[in-house]
């Protein structure tokens, strides 16, 4: 029989979190477990998981540190311990799988499961530290509960967000709309549960909400990253294809229907719909907006199709509107001009494009400037004298183009002078399109908005960024 290694019992029993600190040292120096396998099994059945795990750690540590002469006895002990661990882990991971329900109904049970995980990870660490000293570690360690934990959570998420069933051609629009509404509702409810119920069951340092909170950051990249972690790629591709197919079909139908209704009303001399004591038309919603949504995106940089379509359809309808009497025509022309330019600025505020290089910054700025000038030229041709919103877009383009921080500050100041209602979040949205703006530089740029701008020419036309459309974008 090999000579037993000398153990410092006092040091062992005072080691915080170590398996050895959980065992009972007998008078003759031998390690003995205070509970039988039957006792441990009863603790598991009683859902006293933390206590059961403590005793299991004691039991396996005793077996691993004692000299054993009977191989059959050793195998039986190992089999019994592994059976108890399988029973315990099955119970624990069932709690983890049902986290969304258990965290609301029996939060202490989930807290206990988390404590068991932490206790097992500490035990793994102690065994690995001893391996560095002795050169060996029991084959059952590490048990890698962290890996299993993540696997169970991933499986649980996949079950909650199952792949959508196919819809028939007849009701595909209704089916997709219903599915997306239900999915959004479920995700929101799940996020609320994670933040309010599941998160408190974990130690603060776990910070399990870190990946969840990126959902509230209005960035297309982070939103896409979050979506990729929640849905399989096959499901995402399926939904995208269905969405764009339905969107194109619905857009055509809405535009044709709206134009037909408006044209019939004009021909018959029927008075337009009145809302809030003003004449109302759906044309700006159905036509100007599902077209402007194509602006300032990754695909927008690759082709001129979006702005070409906007110019073509705008000119087509301005030609018809020109038959109106002068005062009414000018009012409607100004309304369309402001709506179109506001929608363009809204696309910038949406942060759906982020430049990767300084050359791309210049390309984006040049494209915004070029398209703005084409739009302004079109409206000037049809009699518009309004150039205020063109001024805003050209200044925004210049901010995106400039590299020098002081030059950017000057351009932001000019934008603030012309549009005093611009806020810090609007400027941040513009700066987010640039390759990289240091935190310190951003503070210097935003500081200019604290300086009062005395401009007697300020008027209702200059209140652009307080427009509800742009305010909601942030």
pLDDT the model gives residue 394: 95
Mean pLDDT of 136-145: 76
For the ranges 24-28, 71-75, 290-294, the lowest mean pLDDT is seen at 24-28
Give the tens place of pLDDT for each residue, 313-366. 888 888 888 888 888 888 888 888 888 888 899 999 988 888 889 999 999 999
Residue 301 confidence (pLDDT) above 50: yes
HEC-encoded secondary structure of 304-342: CHHHHHHHHHHHHHHHHHCCCCHHHHHHHHHHHHHHHHH
Give the tens place of pLDDT for each residue, 246-270. 777 776 777 677 777 777 777 787 7
Instruction: Specify the higher pLDDT residue, 205 or 424.
Output: 424
Q: What gap in Å lies between CA 23 and CA 34, rounded to an integer?
A: 8
Cβ atoms 300, 291 nearer than 8 A: no
Q: What gap in Å lies between CA 465 and CA 473, rounded to an integer?
A: 10
**What is residue 60's three-state secondary structure?**
helix
Which class is domain 272-473? mainly alpha
pLDDT the model gives residue 276: 58
Domain ranges of the chain: 9-148, 161-270, 272-473
DSSP per-residue string spanning 177-225: HHHHHHHHHHHHHHHHHIIIIIGGGS-GGG-TTTTTGGGGS--HHHHHH
Mean pLDDT of 369-397: 92
Instruction: Supply 83's token pair.
Output: 């059976």
Give the tens place of pLDDT for each residue, 426-454. 999 999 999 888 889 999 999 999 887 65
What phi and psi values does residue 140 have, to the nearest 5 degrees?
-85, 0
- Going by C-alpha positions, the residue among 119, 111, 112, 104 that lies closest to residue 54 is 119
Instruction: Specify the higher pLDDT residue, 452 or 189.
Output: 189
pLDDT the model gives residue 352: 85
pLDDT the model gives residue 379: 93
End-to-end CA distance of the chain: 75
pLDDT the model gives residue 364: 94
Residue 195 confidence (pLDDT) above 50: yes
Mean pLDDT of 191-218: 70
């Amino acid at each position: 029989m090999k000579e037993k290694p000398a153990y410092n019992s006092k040091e062992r029993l005072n080691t915080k979190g170590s398996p050895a600190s959980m065992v009972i040292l007998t008078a003759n120096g031998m390690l003995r477990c205070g509970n039988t396998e039957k006792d441990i099994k009863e603790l598991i059945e009683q859902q006293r998981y933390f206590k059961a795990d403590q005793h299991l750690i004691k039991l396996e540590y005793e077996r691993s540190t004692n000299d054993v002469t009977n191989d059959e006895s050793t195998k039986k002990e190992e089999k019994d311990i592994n059976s108890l661990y399988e029973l315990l882990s099955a119970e624990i991971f069932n709690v983890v799988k049902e986290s969304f329900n258990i965290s609301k109904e029996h939060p202490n049970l989930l807290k206990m499961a988390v404590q068991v995980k932490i206790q097992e990870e500490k035990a793994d660490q102690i065994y690995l530290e001893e391996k560095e000293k002795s050169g060996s570690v029991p084959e059952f360690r590490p048990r890698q509960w962290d890996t299993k934990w993540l696997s169970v959570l991933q499986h649980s998420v996949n079950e909650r967000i199952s792949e959508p069933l196919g819809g028939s051609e007849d009701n595909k629009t209704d089916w997709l709309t219903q599915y997306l509404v239900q999915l959004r509702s479920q995700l929101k409810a799940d996020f609320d549960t994670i933040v309010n119920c599941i998160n408190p069951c974990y130690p603060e340092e776990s910070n399990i909400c870190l990946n969840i909170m990126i959902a509230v950051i209005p960035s297309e990249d982070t939103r896409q990253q979050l979506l990729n972690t929640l849905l399989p790629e096959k499901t995402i591709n399926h939904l995208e294809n269905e969405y764009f197919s339905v969107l194109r079909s619905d857009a055509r139908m809405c535009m044709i229907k709206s134009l037909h209704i408006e044209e019939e009303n004009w021909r018959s001399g029927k008075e337009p719909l009145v809302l809030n004591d003003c004449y109302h038309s759906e044309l700006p919603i159905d036509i100007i907006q599902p077209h402007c949504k194509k602006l300032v995106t990754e695909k927008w940089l690759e082709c001129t199709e979006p702005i070409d379509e906007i110019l073509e359809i705008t000119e087509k309808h301005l030609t018809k509107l020109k038959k109106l009497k002068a005062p009414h025509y000018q009012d409607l022309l100004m309304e369309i001009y402001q709506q179109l330019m506001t929608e363009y600025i809204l696309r910038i505020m949406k942060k759906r494009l982020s430049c990767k290089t300084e050359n791309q910054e210049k390309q984006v700025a040049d494209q915004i400037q070029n398209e703005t000038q084409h739009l302004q030229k079109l409206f000037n041709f049809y009699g518009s004298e309004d150039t205020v919103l063109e001024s805003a877009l050209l200044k925004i383009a210049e901010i995106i183009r400039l590299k020098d921080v002081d030059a950017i500050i000057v351009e932001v100041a000019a934008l603030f002078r012309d549009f005093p209602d611009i806020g810090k979040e609007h400027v941040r949205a513009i700066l987010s399109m640039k390759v990289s703006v240091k935190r310190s530089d951003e503070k210097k740029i935003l500081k200019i908005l604290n300086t009062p701008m005395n401009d007697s020419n300020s008027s209702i036309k200059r209140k652009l960024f307080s427009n509800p459309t742009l305010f909601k974008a942030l």
